[in-house]
Amino acid sequence: MIPIAKPDFGPEEVMAVAEVLSSGMVAQGRRVAELETRWADFVGIRHAVAVSNGTTALMSVLAGLGLGPGDEVITVAHTFAATANAILSTGASPVFVDIEPDTYLIDAARIEAAISPRTRAIVPVHLFGLVADMDMIEAIARRYGLAVVEDACQAHGATYRGRRAGSFGHGVFSLYATKNMTTAEGGFVTTNDDRLADWLRLYRNQGMRTRYEFEILGYNFRLTDVAAAIGLVQLEKLPRNTARRQAIAARYDEALADLPVALPVVPADRTHVYHQYTVRVGPRRDEILADLRAHGVGADVYYPLPVHRQAYIQERGLHADLPVTDQAAAETLSLPMYPGLADDEQAIVIEAVRRAVERFGGLDEPGVRAEEPGVRAEA
């Protein structure tokens, strides 16, 4: 089976971990500090605060902004549940708006209508490796005095008008095993807010600046030096691995362009880092997916049950009418995408996709085809 994703680990990571283990300093030490400095420089921001995973990164920055019961945060339901869960962890409530039908990112034109007197923040999700429309989002946030927290967990190195994900407002990254850059588990918060960065460093360390002196209520959300050592190697590999992902995506684009499917759209002002290569294949998606898997292709769906339809969300009365999100959940699938995907393996994936679409059909709208690379579809 050709997997949907696979981490790029080699002897460099093994050697880096061995060096940490032999040093005797394995938790929140020199390598964590070095990784934070280098990630902040990479993103183009003053502070990067490393934590134990992407979820705790989201939870921490939202807590640091002072969100609490009665507050509302605008976000999307077409995302991993951690986005909404982190909002709920503060006592605040997520307010879901729909996504764009071509990029699957938050439809910024819908945000303003969702703002209420209780709205405190906007959390756009840079899904699959593409940055949301940050010009419009930042303009709305300024007009209403709202914080912006970018969920950039899938967008390591992606850019919008030359600026990297995580440099608008406050950013959050995951370093989970299958992400474009990994520490096996880990995360970052990026920010230009000195006060928030200081608070986050206390919060992740049980509220301590000096040992056994607890300045605030905090938790153990620290990253280990073992993980940071892996991250430093991964950061060196990131440009190369991003270029490889983009090359794989370009081959998919070319090979599947004549099929009745919608391929990923990349607006001209952005770069896509292809955490996932996601294709809309139409109402027989599940049959196409089963056929791919039967032929050894580990395709998958992100996400088959959107957050707004999860039972624990509905039990809280957080209802939303999101037809574009529902359509994406029903009609899209993602193809294998990772730097180690060999050319002959990709050829197998392409042939399997072509065969499955020809057998089951694709999009049911007549004449629908993939958009040209770099050109955004009409909404």
Catalytic center residues: 179
List the structure tokens of 107.
């439809």
Helix (H, G, I), strand (E, B) or coil at 356: helix
User: Is the distance from CB of 169 to CB of 142 less than 8 angstroms?
Assistant: no
55, with CB counted inside 10 A (0-12, 13-18, 19+), is buried
Categorise residue 176: left if φ over 0, alpha if ψ from -120 to 50, beta otherwise: beta
Distance CA 39, CA 41 (A): 5
Helix (H, G, I), strand (E, B) or coil at 216: coil
Q: Could you please report the per-residue DSSP string of 129-185?
A: G----HHHHHHHHHHHT-EEEEE-TT-TT-EETTEETT-SSEEEEE--TTSSS--SS
b or e along 113-145 (b: 16 or more beta carbons within 10 Å of the residue's beta carbon)?
ebbeeebbbbbbbbbbbbbbbbebbbebbeeee
Q: Which helix (H) or strand (E) element contains residue 96?
A: strand 93-97
